[in-house]
Amino acid sequence: MTGHCPTGETATCSVLFWAAAEMMILCSAFLLSQSMWKTQRSTVKGYFLAGGQMVWWPVGASLFASNVGSGHFIGLAGSGAASGIAATAYEWNGMFCVLVLAWLFLPIYIAAGVTTMPEYLQKRFGGKRIQMFLAILYLFIYIFTKISVDMYAGALFIQQALHWDLYIAVVGLLAITAVYTVAGGLAAVIYTDALQTLIMLIGAVTLMVFSFVEVGGLEGLQTKYFDAIPSTRKENSSCGLPREDAFHIFRDPVNSDLPWPGVLVGMTIPSLWYWCTDQVIVQRSLAAKNLSHAKGGSLMTSYLKILPLFMMVMPGMISRVLFPDLVACADPEICRKICGNPSGCSDIAYPKLVIELLPVGLRGLMMSVMIAALMSSLTSIFNSASTIFTMDLWKQFRPRCSEWELMIVGRVFVLLLIVISILWIPLVQAGQGGQLFIYIQSISSYLQPPVAMVFILGCFWKRANEKGAFWGLVIGLLLGVIRLVLDFVYPEPQCGERDLRPGVVRYMHYLYFSMVLAAISTLTVLVVSMLTEPPSEEMVRQPLRFLSLFLNGFQNAPSYCHGNKVEINNLEMEVSIHSIEIYTLLFTGFVGTTDTKRNSKLMKTFLWLCGMERRPENSENVAPIKPELPMASLEEKPLVKHILNINLIISVCAGIFLWAYFA
């Protein structure tokens, strides 16, 4: 067996796949139409922040869907099959970090009136180099880790389910995601994420029930997992044997795959970056109507993060029990024949379970789940990457660009990301290791700690200045890139091979390296900041730090408009007019000029679909762009605030209990 559809059912699998895709298309089209009518897609705030009118439940669902993509289903299940439940620590760490975002970081971002995270650092420290540096880094992380991982995971599932080439399906799905990301903006992405979260939960819980019934419940899994040994493996070695600590999260601090000090500290630092400073996550919270709705969305996400252990990790372990010769293969040549990866085939655990365990009808449901996971994560990344490129890079090169120009640039950049994603697929297929989820986390541990520490110090230490933050980023990221290159040059040896890696790679776990990297970056910021001039009083007085907000009271904190900076003068008006004229000529050049009236209607329809229907008819009538309203209100009703704080305590207690029970 190779993990494909059972013999004679390939046509059925193809029909189910396209039926699932068509269902997602129809649902996305409906939600796209809703977002078109309900949000002002022709403004920066309407397109990039959904008009700032989102309530708590779509915000929470979008946070969860953006985080749990196809890479999670494939990667967490694969890690569960390979080494047990330890990877769950990343999910339960996120339970706390998403609450830190809502209660500590988000009030600062809202009061600062920022659209992107690099923009916040520019306001906090001044200058342009940190903003530009961070924007490029974020785009690099998104394109070469997040997009590539989700594309690989989705492609892997399609490969296991179907015999035909994956490119047609992948290109089709990317085209769908591009349509409602470009046309609807963040509102369409969030509403679609909410639907896809529901589909993911229903499908994943269904497969979980079938899996536990097949293996005899949790007790059956705990007994049978340790007997899930492949029939062909090297004698007198640990190759193919399950780990003795498979059902423990806290493991040996020296010789284990996830040492417990690294789990507690080294894992928390990249998690804080992801949940509190990553554009993909923070942008959804900034789209909330007010701070209370943002907190409610974070609480919803925190509760949902309990589920991955039971929906993804343990089903992956069950897949190893049911198919040990495939999922737990230990011979490189056999693994190459099974999944094309000599490092191991644990990443086929989840698709193997879907194809072999579920009846034909429910396979269509699970295919829609994987499509939903792939689309939700990709659209979130596309929208956030477009926001960073437009607001942090394009506006630096064209500071007087019109809002209409920003809308065009944001949409065109999404299309560019689609092309890069398609071109990246063969490289991802060739370059992934045996455990996809661990690959993601190791890369995160090399690139994210310096950024996390700069944000933390910027928010909570008054003396931190621009020079300290910049050199902390540069030195930290330089060390992280060196370790990243060493990991690629000296990959982990296959089971039974001699380990010839350098000591810094062989003996220092990536979670320990995350701790060292964070310490070096923090020390650099502290030393350079103390040896150079302090930040200006103007920056310190602005509501860019938590302490100043807390002392002054959240409700009295001013909010800064985050839209285009308006300078009503002849030069600004002239640039805006010329920008509109140039892009109008570009568009009309594609439709011809023989029938002005017909082209005008066609042009209006095209602009409406793209969310730019508010383009002025005549350049002479261009009205000054009005400053936009603040993103969200910091005001909270006392009763709602108390309810949220009570749920905060409940969520934290639930997380502590889970950590203690499975430690």
Same domain, 508 and 583: no
487 lies in some domain: yes
Residues 501 and 398 in one domain: yes
> In terms of domains, do 520 and 480 share one?
yes
DSSP conformational letter for 230: -
Looking at the fold, whether 583 and 476 belong to one and the same domain comes out as no
Q: What is the dihedral of CA 59, 64, 65, 67, to 10 degrees?
A: 120
Q: How many domains does the chain have?
A: 2
What is the per-residue pLDDT across 244-301, written as a single tens digit (0 to 9) for each? 999 999 999 988 889 999 999 999 999 999 999 998 899 888 888 889 999 999 999 9
- Highest average pLDDT, of 27-41, 199-213, 578-592, comes from 199-213
Coil, helix or strand for 372?
A: helix
Residue 422's DSSP bridge partners are none
Is 254 part of any domain? no
Given a cut of 70, is residue 623 above it in pLDDT? no
| Per-residue burial over 302-340, b = 16 or more CB atoms within 10 Å of its CB, e = otherwise | bbbbbbbbbbbbbbbbbbbbbbbbbbbbbbbebbeebbe
Both 438 and 384 in one domain: the answer is yes
Instruction: Report if residue 627 sits inside a domain.
Output: no
Average pLDDT over residues 584-592: 39
Query: 51 in the Ramachandran plot: left (φ > 0), alpha (ψ -120 to 50) or beta?
Result: left
For Cα atoms 270, 274, 275, give the angle at the middle one, nearest 5 degrees. 120
- 503-553: pLDDT as tens digits: 888 889 999 999 999 999 999 999 999 999 998 877 766 656 665 665 555
pLDDT of 476 > 80? The answer is yes
Give domain status of residue 46, yes or no. Answer: yes
The model's pTM? 0.79
Is the domain of 498 the same as that of 600? Answer: no
Which CATH number characterizes residue 371's domain? Answer: 1.20.1730.10
Q: Inform me whether the pLDDT recorded for 583 exceeds 70.
A: no
Say if CB 480 and CB 517 are below 8 A apart. Answer: yes
Residue 326 one-letter amino acid: L
Whether 61 is covered by a domain: the verdict is yes
* 385 and 294, same domain (yes or no): yes
- pLDDT score, position 598: 47
Q: Is the residue at 243 inside a domain?
A: no
Phi, then psi, of 258 in degrees rounded to 5: -135, 85
* Residue at 93 is within a domain: yes
**Beta bridge partners of residue 290, listed in sequence order:** 633
List all residues 6 or more positions away from 90 whose beta carbon is below 8 Å from its beta carbon: 267, 271, 437, 441
Q: What pLDDT was estimated at residue 4?
A: 46
Domain match, 342 and 490 both: yes
315: Cβ–Cβ under 8 A, 6 or more apart, which residues? 77, 80, 207, 208, 211, 349, 350, 353
CA angle 106-523-453, nearest 5°?
20
Nearest to 269 by CA among 522, 544, 648: 522
- Its domain, for residue 576, covers 570-621
Residue 476 sits in the same domain as residue 609: no
Domain assignment present for 251: no
Query: Running DSSP on this structure, what letter comes out for residue 254?
Result: T
- Specify whether the CB–CB gap between 298 and 285 falls below 8 A: yes
Residue pLDDT, tens place only, 357-410: 888 777 777 777 777 677 767 777 877 888 888 888 888 888 887 777 877 887
Same domain, 606 and 472: no
181 & 286 share domain: yes
The predicted-structure confidence for 103-123, as pLDDT tens digits, reads as follows 999 999 988 888 888 889 988
pLDDT single digits (tens) 398-426: 888 777 787 788 778 877 877 777 776 66
Claim to verify: residue 211 and residue 352 sit in the same structural domain: yes
